[in-house]
Amino acid sequence: MSAKDQPEKAGNAPKHVEQPVEPNDATVSATKENTDRIATGDAIIHRNMLWSAGAGVLPFPLFDMLALTGVQLKTISELCEVYETPFRQELFRPLVTSLIGTLGGSFAGEVVGSSIAKLVPGIGHLLGTASMSATFAGVTYAVGHLFRDHFEAGGTAADFNPLRFKDSFKAKVQEGMAKVKSAVPAL
């Protein structure tokens, strides 16, 4: 039997060489559309980070947290418009609550403590407000980025699993807080 007639062995299989794909009008258009959506999503997230920081200034404990939830739902609603994903508050509210819950008890304690510190006149109010503003902006940054990335990948509210994002959510909160603190050194 000649080498040509022998069956191919695993090690002798011809190797498939992928040819580079030339971009066509459809792929260029899709890439531009993705870039535009991401840029629009970033603008939505940035604007709502500022609203969240403002919610941290509210002088009434716990009312500030209600305002934060409203801003986060607004952020997600606006992202849903960009990604043509249906928005239903009753679906997204528990997802946001679950995401924030993944931060753990120590984080919740810090938030509640900062909120209550605002009741102390003078330095307590200043420290509580600064802490809450940075934290709220960081949380909104994280929520916005996780949902933007999830929607960009074709996800919906139905297949969003907050536990899957636990570690990346914590990292995004810290990243968002750092961005706010670098932009506003007083925080």
User: pLDDT digit of tens for each residue in the chain (187 aa)?
Assistant: 554 555 445 445 445 444 444 444 444 455 778 889 999 999 999 999 999 988 888 877 778 888 888 999 999 999 999 999 999 999 999 998 888 877 776 676 776 677 677 767 777 767 767 778 888 899 999 999 999 999 999 999 889 998 888 888 989 998 998 888 787 665 5
How far apart are alpha carbons 33 and 116 in whole angstroms? 45
Q: How many other CB atoms sit within 10 Å of the CB of residue 155?
A: 16
HSE-up of 60 (CA within 13 Å, CB side)? Answer: 5
Pair 68, 143: CB distance under 8 Å: no
Q: Is 75 helix (H, G, I), strand (E, B) or coil?
A: helix
Give the pLDDT confidence of 112-149 residue by residue, as tens digits.
677 677 767 777 767 767 778 888 899 999 999 999 99
Report the alpha-carbon angle 131-135-139, nearest 5: 170
Local structure of residue 59 (DSSP, 8 states): S
Cα–Cα distance list, 109 to 116, 132, 152, 163 (Å): 10, 12, 33, 20
Instruction: Give CA–CA dist 94/88, Å, rounded.
Output: 11
Nearest alpha carbon to residue 134 among 67, 60, 54 = 54
Q: Are 83 and 37 in contact (CB under 8 A)?
A: yes
pLDDT at 51: 93
Q: What whole-number distance in Å separates Cα of residue 113 and Cα of residue 122?
A: 16
